[in-house]
Structure 1
Amino acid sequence: MARRPVRRELTAVRGIGYKTVDVLLASFGYPVLPVDTHVKRVARRLGLSGSSSYMGVRRDLERVFRPEARFEAHLLLIKLGREVCKAREPRCRECPLNDTCAYYSARA
């Protein structure tokens, strides 16, 4: 089944949003990159996305990551956001990506 009809049908169910749909699609092998609060924050700080919307961030990240790497990227961005690139008091100096990070560069 194509992604668009699946997305349309699932988001029509009350309480199911884009992220839930994308996590379900990814778990069935569709090449999508689900976006949660950590992924969005990291993507914006790294300069990978300038969008503030779910769809915009996902679109930008799906342009950056190859289809076969998207779910792993999703997991790694979450881990980075939870452990290093925190909303409050980010640990920028410990970040393995700080040499390419727009947020770190602006704060340095």
Structure 2
Amino acid sequence: MEPVSTDVVQQVAAYFSILGEPMRLKILNLLRDGEKCVQDLVEATATSQANVSKHLKVMLQAGMLARRCEGTAAYYSVTDDLTYELCTLVCDRLATRIEQQAQSIRAFSLSPSSRQS
């Protein structure tokens, strides 16, 4: 197997860094049901238009979102549903880890040695 080029690694890292921002994940989640205008996203995230627009611009430039203008309103939608599949994989993995940790904590708290103290 040949080593991956630095350019490819940087592109992949840049993609993941976009998903590493909580506000962008909120926006993606809001767009799951279909396109939304900027004002809808501002209201749903309870943040400023400047903040939402900044994140939309980053995701648009990365090719994650598409933009459609209607009059003075801009509508955004997700261009690739695989983004949601990736998020689902990550969330499922995190949920599994949390469930395993909870089981370990319950087992510890119910063990006879922990009740004797």
TM-score by length of 2: 0.26
**Larger RCO (alpha carbons 8 Å, 6+ apart):** 1
Q: Specify which structure has the higher proportion of strand.
A: 2
